[in-house]
Each structure stands twice: as C-alpha cells, then as structure tokens.
Chain A
Amino acid sequence: MKIDSLKKHITGFWTHTILILVSLISVFPFIWLISTSLKGNAENIFAYPPQIIPTDFTWANYSGVWKRVNFMGYFFNSMIVAAGTVLLNLILSAMAGYPLARMEFKGKKITFFAILATIMIPFQAIMLPVYLITLKLQLVDSVNNIAGFIGLIMPFAVSAFGIFLMRQAFLGIPKEMEEAAIIDGCSVFQVFWKVLLPMVKPSLAVLAIFTFIGSWGEFLWPSIVLTKEAMYTLPVGVNNLQGMFSSNWRFIAAGSILSTIPILIFFLAMQRYFISGENEGAVK
C-alpha cells in the first residue's frame, strides 16, 4: 500500500513537471514580449544575461505606441469584419443546412457534394481569382470604406464546415416539432425562424465563436486587399508595426501585446468552448 502511494506520487510529480514545462514553453514567448515592452530606455534590452523583470520599469512604451498607432481604429475594423463574418455565417449556414437536413428536392445530392468539394479547395490556391473578382465587384477600400469591409467579409461569409455543422444540428431535432408547428398554421419560414432556429442555439454558438476567432486572426486576405492604413485590421496593423518602428523592439512588443488583449479576454470568457474537447476540430 505504501509503495503504491509512493509510486503514485512519483508519477504525479513527473506529470506536473512535464505539464509545467510545456505550459512555460507555451507562454514564454509572450512573457518575454511583455517583459521587453515594460523596459525603459535606460535598460539594455539585449543585456546578457537576459532580465525577465525590468529594472527600468515603465509604461511609456505602451503610451508611446498608443499615441502613434491607431489601435482603436484597427480594433473597430477587426470588430466590424468579425461581426459581419459571424452574422453572415450564422444566417447562411443555418439557411443552407436546413433543407439539406429536412427537405427532399431535386439536385440534393449534387448540392451536397458541391459543398463538400469546397472543403478541399484551399483559399490560398484560389486567392488570386478571388482578388480579381473582388476588384471587379468594386468591393475594395479604394472605392469606399463600406465596399472595403464587404470585400473583407464576403469570401468568408459561409463555409462548408458551418453548413455541415448546422445540418447536423437540424438532423438532431425531432420531426414532431415541425409537424406541430405546421398544424398550428406556421409557414415554412416561420417553422425555420421560430421553431427550429431556437433549438439549434448551441450549434449556432459554437459556429459563432469559431468563426469569430478565424475572422479575427485572418491575415492573408486583408493584407492582399487592403490599401488604406485606416482600414487595417489588427493583424495587418500589428505586422505593420515592424516597418514603422524598424528596430524599436520596445514599441513593437508593446503594440503586439496591446493588440492581443481583446482576443485574450474573449478566450478566457469563452474558454470552455475551446478546451472542453466537445467541439474538436472546429477551428481552421
């Protein structure tokens, strides 16, 4: 019995040691960035040995970068794009998922496989024609800001993942629900809007959260289409810090950390959706 509990303690010790090590590796790059962002000009940020705790502690880098860079602007641009993308994904995925789950119609099979096929088409391979089409539709920021936002949103307004997620959710609802509603005199649109949608709220929440994260972090597309600094989303703006402050790592670090705060708050508030394991495979 004693040996058993000793053995347990030893494995417990190793488990925690390894997990603490992995956690440290996961957060260390951020800790080092935070440390650098809090060091004043009197402190050598290249000092050997490196100092984690700043000796010349200051918030000046944050106020400095905040004054020179329009973070609030980037933040609002990111918000508009993410909110628009989430809203469209919820509506379009739910609308498309419903007939695929519940209706019989000509061409259902083809529709199904066509949507499935889009999973295999990586955006990176078709981004050039997507850009040409967006230009042709005048959905770029050189036309006006609203067109620019629409252009940022539309290529990601719906995804096969979302459609299949919603279809799966509708499949799980008992058919009696619709029958009862029809007998009560509901039209098909009322059935969808008032009866079925409220029942798939959990799936809508999952779709919203993962679409939000994806849209918030999107870098390739905005860096292709955006031409005006005033339209920059956070990732594009943060990347731009490197050019603005060439080797001022204190400012670059402070700006990077500032830009991370909103998504960090979002993650901590919604963490159970991410780490519970119930929604595996939902991102990307």
Chain B
Amino acid sequence: MFKYYGKYAPYLFLLPAAVVLIVFFFIPFFQTIVLSFLDYSNNIYTPSMCGIQNYVLLFHNPIFYKVLVNTFLYLILAVPILAVVPLFIAILINQKIKGITLYKILIYLPVIVSIVVAAIAFKWLYADQGILNYLVTSLGFEKIGWLTDTKWALISVVLVTIWKGIGYYMIIYLAALMSVPKELYEACEIDGANFLTKHLTVTIPHIMPTIALVTTISAISAMKVFAEIYVMTKGGPLNSSKTIVYYIYEKAFENLDLGMASAMAVVLLIIVMAFSLVNIFCFEKNRYQL
C-alpha cells in the first residue's frame, strides 16, 4: 500500500491521547515514586528529602502489616470463589434451557449497580437486628456482629465483592464455553460420562487459559478494593477490614502524610504490576500484539 499520510500525521493523531496519558498516568506514576522519598510529616508545604525513611517506617509499622495481611486475605478468600463459582454457573447456563436470558440478566444485575448502593444494601442485611442475623439466630446460632466484630468484618466485606463479581466472571466464562467444540461433548456422552467427568475431562482443560485469566483479573481487582470498605466499615473495627488502598487513601487524604502514602502506593504498584505482567504475557498476548 502506498503511504498516503504525511510525516507528522501519525503523531497528530496520537497527540491528544498522549497528552492525557502523560499528564494523568506517567507523570503521576513517577511522582508517586519521588514522593515516597519525601518527608511530609513536619510541614505539608515544604517536604524534605528523607531517602528510604518512609519505607523503613512503613515496614516497622504494625498496622501496615495488618493491612497487607488483610489485603492478601481478601485475595485468598475472593479469588478462588470467583474463579470457580462463576464457571459452575456458566456451565449450567450454557445449556438449551428455558429462561437463560432472564437468569443472565438477574445474575448480572449486581455488576451493573453502583458499588455504593450494593454496599449500602449489604450493610442493611448485616444490621445487628437485620435479616441475616434473623436467619443465623433462627438456625440456633448466636448473633453475628457482621461489620462490628473483628473476626467477621473482613469476611463480610469480601462477600460483597464476591456477590458483585459473580455475574461479571460468569459472562467471561460463557464466552469461553462457546468455543469448546460440541463434538467433544458428544463423544463423551457416547462413552457414558456423567456431568462431572464430562466437564473435568473436556471443559476444564479446554478453558484453562480463561480460568487463569479470571484468576489474575480478580486478584488485581481484589488488590484495588476500596469502595466496599469506605462505605461499610471505614477499615474498622480496629483495622480488621482495612486493606492497602483504603490505608493509602487514609494516609494521603486524611492524615496528609503524602510521603508515607506514596511509599505504600509504590508497594501496591509493584504487586499489581507483577500480576498484570503475568496477565499480559500469558493470557492476553493476542490482544496486545504489535
């Protein structure tokens, strides 16, 4: 094909997007790193260089460890469920049955609704004299302090994330299931395989890349959880539901300790970048090939 465009045309087309990405992604990215080496604790307007002091303080801060543990607990609780349950539902929906569209709409509904509304709805379910405690007590157990008990707060918040994610990952799995050749199932059925063996031997191996993709995406979004915690617990009680993004928010915008907040942000950056690299190089290669 002949070259029909001028020498500068490609750059002109790229310019607007480049300006936005430079101002709101790349500069902040480097600034985060720079800020993490500054000390804001004496004066917010005239910070001083302090080397790695923020990192040293951070790794001597028991709350930070608590927050890291919480964040990884969040991940460990949410990711396996979000990788498995939506797959199971997708397999059920991927049959010729009545009402598929209605099921899909209802199960997808939590994805579409604002996380703030979802968190408020769950806060109401979790109320001390709420409907969940009615269920628990009528089953003969003690009332649970869903959002007020240090043992339960994190789990209660994770449940919201899981509830809100199921429909999203179900749709991703459905798309993958459509690509499994039907003949394989037919062969299986002739062999007399039951539901479980059929899916263990055909479906799971075939959509392994999608399972891995869902695992990394849900892990990345678990690392970034914020709104659920902000609306429901503010990280409490006693930091028991505080995760890293909430702690960064608190340090930066409530305590105005910009240096410390940025040091934590760098930790978050490193973790998320590691997950993303796995994601990009292993599962989404095709989409991002030059």
Contacts and interface: CB of A to CB of B under 8 A. Distances in A.
A241 B119 CA distance: 13
B226 A22 contact: no
B288 A164 contact: yes
Contacts of B23: 133, 154
A263 B113 contact: yes
Contacts of B105: 268, 271, 275
Contact of B114 (A111, A128, A235): A235
A217 B195 CA distance: 39
Interface residues of B, number: 102
A112 B113 contact: no
Interface residues of A, number: 101
A56 interface: no
A146 interface: no
A188 B112 contact: no
Interface in B59-116: 89, 92-93, 95, 97, 99, 101-116
B1 interface: yes
Nearest to B253: A224
A226 interface: no
A29 B104 CA distance: 17
B11 A126 contact: no
B113 to A, nearest CB: 6
A259 B114 CA distance: 9
B172 A219 contact: no
B268 A122 contact: yes
A32 B4 contact: no
Nearest to B218: A284
B129 interface: yes
A236 B227 CA distance: 11
B32 A235 contact: no
Interface stretch (B50-58, B148-156, B180-188, B272-280): B272-280
B277 A120 contact: yes
A213 interface: yes
9 contacts: A91-B16, A95-B14, A168-B287, A178-B1, A219-B226, A236-B116, A238-B114, A274-B171, A281-B213
**A-B pairs with lowest CB-CB distance, top 6:** A129-B28, A277-B175, A129-B31, A99-B10, A96-B17, A29-B121
